[in-house]
């Protein structure tokens, strides 16, 4: 089994060396080729079929229909390497690339995060125990014997055991000849035995950090003994077809029969597909995953657990719970160890959720003296202001503009999305760049910011977003009023011109105005000027591709020196990863969620005043944007 073989993948022409017995699926992953899988390696979906061009593979009895077999195809998840191979990967077996913010691949241990010293005490761990064999005079029950050895090893005197694990304990102890590997989860001061295996297993316990976003879901696989991130995957939330934003999803649960169940299953399926992909790529077993720490906004967390989010949407906006109960994986249907623990980050309010708490945990804001602003612009905009002494948070209904929603040619940041736009003020010619340099198919958030700034700089729109009348064929009257052509159909990856309409511009103004008004409202409550903000953290997928200069120019972000901005990426999954490795960090997050004062912007008139003032480019009060030349 230890012999190495060369496996070449076509048409990519990438070769990797792997041990004999490795699955073709894993070899492909090693080669950077991502194969589809819907069944999770059971060999039933046929989505990972590859063609063997040369060499012999070890097949499985589970296999493909005869005609595919005859054509030389095998299932990558079931076939194993036993020879040098040349394999051809058909397009249909590949995962289409999606731009999902996964963060960098560096090993991040909780201890090292910006000087915080949370202890390494993960939610799950494994203990290897050698028990004494019973006899007629030493005749303690199996469980008593196990607990005594566990206590001696860990000091834990009152570990709990679930009925399911107890049921298999007698056979496991004897099969392992009184040597066993015990998987524990620890939470809320309790220790629970969630698995007992015969013998002294070398496999490490694994954990998942999960970011459940309204639009995308990201999963990290972490070795709980070393803290190493073994893999990470992201994809779109399958709930999106039932509603783009949280409001529409809540409406779906209220109006559709079994709507809540549908959405609960949709997100679970999303996460499970990521898990199964990760399991296959890394050749690890689902039962080794003993804990999943999840961060999502309040609605996402409700939907994930199947808790009705109905009253989140109705004044006075009350969620069922801020802190969700700990649940077993089997209760929510996650395909990890069925007795495994599922932990959710606590929320601050209906519209400031666990993802923001997790995000803050991952930054140094809670420990810093510097006045900091944390902005997460996703489907909603959440803003936190404060430092180690105090923290305030609000949410503004920015709408889904910056994720491409509600914009004629808006799109997510996927290959072909326009991410940069420049318009020549003389001839109104447009230069663009797209994600992965693919033919343009739409405009994503960062492209829209650029676009708004460029339209204004070129004099095509005025400060109120009204289209002017420059002489260019690009400006024309469309079905819904004036529109500007960014890309002509013959240069686009679509059958039509890519345009931005006056209605789109108005939507963008409302969105950026809401964010800025939120920032100003928080600052006004503590009577501090914009300049007092020493650091601005931009979290989320949007931030990573953003031209900050343009974002300031349109009045989305405050006009402070550029060096004060920090792009912190997917902080939600980062915080979840920290908590996974450190219960101390999670406890700190719970404290944090209690410490944050939520400001309901719909109470009082301040926000509306700010909002109206912010609906201009960059703002009615130009003194707030000294660096922006008009």
Give the binding site for a second copy (CB under 8 A).
134-137, 139-144, 160-163, 166-167, 169-171, 174, 305-308, 310-311, 315-325, 327, 331, 347, 349-350, 598, 600, 602-603
Distance in Å, CB of 168 to a second copy, minimum: 8
User: Which CB atom, from 239 or from 276, has the smaller least distance to a second copy?
Assistant: 239
The CB-of-336 to a second copy minimum distance in angstroms stands at: 17
Question: Shortest distance, CB of residue 328 to a second copy, whole angstroms?
Answer: 9
* Nearest residue to 610 via CA among 623, 620, 618, 595: 620
Q: Which one, 160 or 462, has the nearer CB to a second copy?
A: 160
The number of beta carbons lying within 10 Å of the beta carbon of residue 114 is: 10
State the minimum distance, in angstroms, from the CB of residue 518 to a second copy.
Answer: 17
Q: What are phi and psi of 152, to 5 degrees?
A: -65, -40
Q: Which is nearer to a second copy, 323 or 612 (CB)?
A: 323
Minimum CB separation of residue 333 from a second copy in Å reads 12
Contact assessment for residue 79 and residue 58, using Cβ atoms and an 8 Å cutoff? yes
* Shortest reach from residue 315's CB to a second copy, in Å: 7
- Least separation in angstroms between residue 306's CB and a second copy is 6
**Distance between CA atoms of residues 47 and 34, nearest Å:** 12
Best CA proximity match to 456, nearest among 417, 508, 409, 404? 508
Of 311 and 567, CB closest to a second copy: 311
* 391 C-beta neighbours (distance < 10 Å), count: 21
Q: Whole-number minimum distance, CB 403 to a second copy, in Å?
A: 27
Query: What's the CA gap between 343 and 597, in Å, rounded?
Result: 23
Burial class (CB in 10 A: 0-12, 13-18, 19+), 479: exposed
CA angle 437, 443, 448 (to 5 degrees): 120
Residue 168 or 203: which CB sits closer to a second copy? 168
In the complex with a second copy, the residue whose CB is nearer, 103 or 339, is 339
Distant-in-sequence, close-in-space partners of 276: CB < 8 Å, separation ≥ 6:
37, 39, 40, 41, 286, 335
* Longest pairwise C-alpha distance within the chain: 100
Residue number with CB closer to a second copy (69 or 310): 310
In the complex, the smallest distance separating the C-beta of residue 600 from a second copy, rounded to whole angstroms, is 5
Judged by beta carbon, residue 144 or residue 256, the one nearer a second copy is 144
By beta-carbon proximity to a second copy, the closer residue of 603 and 629 is 603
SS (H, E, C) 52-68: EEECCEECCCCCCCHHH
Q: How many angstroms separate the CA atoms of 332 and 354, rounded?
A: 18
- Closest CB 148 distance from a second copy, rounded Å: 12
Tell me whether the omega of the peptide bond preceding residue 160 falls within 30 degrees of 0, making it cis: no
Peptide bond into 34 cis (omega under 30): no
328 or 409: whose CB is closer to a second copy?
328
Could you tell me if 278 and 413 are in contact, meaning their C-beta atoms sit under 8 angstroms apart? no
Report residue 150 as tokens: 């566990």
């Amino acid at each position: 089994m230890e012999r190495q073989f060369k496996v070449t993948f076509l048409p990519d022409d990438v070769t990797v060396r792997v041990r004999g017995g490795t699955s073709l699926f894993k070899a492909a992953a090693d080669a950077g080729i991502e194969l589809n899988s819907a069944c999770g390696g059971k060999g039933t979906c046929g989505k990972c079929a590859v063609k063997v061009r040369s060499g012999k593979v070890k097949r499985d009895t589970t296999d493909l229909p005869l005609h595919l077999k005859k054509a030389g195809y095998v299932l990558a998840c079931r076939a194993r390497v036993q020879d040098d191979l040349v394999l051809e990967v058909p397009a249909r077996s590949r995962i289409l690339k999606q731009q999902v913010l996964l963060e960098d691949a560096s090993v991040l241990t909780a201890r090292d995060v910006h000087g915080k010293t949370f202890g390494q005490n993960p939610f799950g761990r494994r203990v290897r125990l050698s028990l004494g064999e019973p006899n007629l005079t030493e005749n303690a029950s199996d469980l008593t014997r196990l607990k005594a050895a566990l206590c001696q090893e860990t000091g834990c005197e009152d570990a709990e055991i679930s009925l399911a694990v107890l049921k298999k304990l007698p056979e496991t102890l004897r099969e392992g000849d009184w040597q066993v590997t015990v998987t524990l989860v620890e939470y809320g001061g309790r220790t629970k035995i969630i698995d007992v295996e015969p013998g002294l297993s070398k496999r490490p316990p694994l954990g998942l950090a999960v970011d459940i976003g309204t639009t995308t879901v990201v999963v990290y696989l972490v070795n709980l003994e070393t803290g190493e991130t073994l893999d990470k995957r992201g994809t779109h939330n399958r709930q999106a077809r039932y509603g783009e934003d949280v409001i529409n999803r809540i409406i779906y649960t209220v109006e559709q029969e079994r709507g809540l169940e549908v959405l609960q299953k949709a997100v679970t399926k999303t996460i499970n597909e990521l898990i199964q992909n990760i399991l296959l790529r890394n050749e690890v077993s689902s039962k080794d995953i003993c804990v999943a720490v999840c961060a999502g906004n309040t609605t996402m967390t409700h939907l994930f657990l199947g808790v009705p989010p109905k009253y989140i949407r109705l004044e006075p906006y009350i969620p069922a719970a801020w802190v969700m109960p700990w649940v077993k994986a089997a209760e929510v249907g996650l395909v990890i160890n069925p007795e495994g623990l599922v932990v959710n980050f606590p929320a601050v309010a209906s519209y400031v959720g666990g993802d923001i708490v997790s995000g803050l945990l991952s930054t140094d804001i809670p420990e810093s003296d510097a006045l900091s602003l944390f902005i997460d612009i996703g489907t909603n905009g959440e803003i936190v202001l404060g430092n180690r002494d105090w923290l305030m948070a609000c949410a503004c209904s920015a709408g889904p503009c910056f994720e491409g929603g509600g914009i004629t040619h808006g799109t997510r940041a996927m290959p072909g999305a326009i991410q940069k736009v420049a318009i020549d003020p003389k001839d109104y010619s447009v230069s663009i760049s797209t994600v992965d340099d693919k033919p343009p198919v739409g405009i994503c958030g960062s492209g829209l910011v650029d676009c708004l700034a460029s339209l204004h700089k070129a004099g095509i729109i005025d400060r109120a977003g009204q289209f002017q009348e420059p002489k260019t064929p690009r400006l024309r009257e469309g079905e819904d009023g004036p529109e500007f052509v960014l890309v002509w159909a013959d240069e686009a990856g679509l059958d039509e011109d890519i345009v931005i309409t006056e209605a789109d511009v108005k939507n963008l103004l409302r969105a950026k105005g809401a964010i800025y008004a939120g920032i100003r409202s928080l600052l006004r409550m503590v009577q501090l000027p914009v300049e007092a903000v020493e650091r601005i953290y931009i979290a989320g997928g949007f931030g990573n591709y953003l031209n900050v200069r343009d974002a300031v120019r349109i009045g989305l972000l405050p006009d402070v020196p550029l060096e004060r901005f920090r792009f912190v990426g997917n902080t939600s999954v980062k915080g979840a990863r920290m908590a996974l490795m450190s219960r101390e960090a999670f406890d700190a997050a719970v404290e944090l969620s209690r410490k944050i004062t939520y400001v309901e912007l719909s109470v009082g008139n301040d926000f509306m005043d700010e909002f109206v003032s912010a609906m201009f480019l960059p703002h009615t009060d130009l003194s707030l944007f000294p660096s922006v030349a008009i």
